[in-house]
Amino acid sequence: MVEILCPHCEEEIELGDDASGVFACPHCEGEFEWNIPSNNETTGTEMYGPPVSGGAALRWSMGLIITIFGFVTMLLSFVGMFLGSQVSGIESDVGSGTSFGAGVIIFSFIVGVFGLALAVAGIGSIRRNFAALVACTVLSVVGGLGAIVSMIDYLFIMDSWERAMSGNPIFNLLFWTAMVSGHVFVMFTQRGREMWMQ
């Protein structure tokens, strides 16, 4: 037996000493060739899938967008926690007995954790980490569900004054729809996985 590293996920794979041909990694299902003699007549003529630059572009674009969105979300959560602490201080001075400021702080903290998870998963996805790709897909679905809830709230629950103050969430919905579509394409189609693993 010989142990090799998967060229896609870099996990260890055991193959027989005389094994040769095309194999599928048991960890990430990526296909690779092992111990095949080179044949100049077929080299480069029967390759399946886009060039390496296409796969790298897909991985980088999806991962970088998720990473940037995660950092922006964390920044906004810090602003929210700061404002929540200011409101909480005013509530204490006035003695209002409400805990609106504390609620803003807790909500902003949860948003910050979501942003941190997005940033870490996005960076891992750029580096071809399969677990990070799964995390990006799950986080994209969560973000998409949040965008759908925001859109329903905007269309059916808010009054006209609240709509004017909050702004239209359609761009948020379009963003998360694109992210979910891209990650579902990569996760659940052979072509998408091959592109992402290049």
Percent pLDDT > 90 in the chain is: 20
Share of the chain above pLDDT 70, in %: 89
Q: How far is CA 19 from CA 4, 22, 23, 143, 192, in A?
A: 12, 10, 10, 45, 27
- pLDDT for the residue 50: 40
What residues are paired with 32 via a beta bridge? 23
| Tens digits of residue pLDDT in 148-170 | 999 998 888 888 888 877 778 89
Please say whether the beta carbons of 115 and 72 come within 8 A. yes
Task: Please give the average per-residue pLDDT across 50-73, as a whole number.
Answer: 78
Q: Can you give the pTM of this predicted structure?
A: 0.63
Domain parsing of the chain, residue ranges? 2-34, 52-197
Q: What is the mean pLDDT of residues 112-125?
A: 91
* Burial class (CB within 10 angstroms; exposed 0-12, middle 13-18, buried 19+) of 62: buried
Q: What pLDDT score was predicted for residue 157?
A: 86
Least confident range from 47-56, 113-122, 124-133, 185-194: namely 47-56
Q: Look up residue 29 and give its DSSP letter.
A: -
Tell whether the model's pLDDT for residue 46 goes beyond 50. no
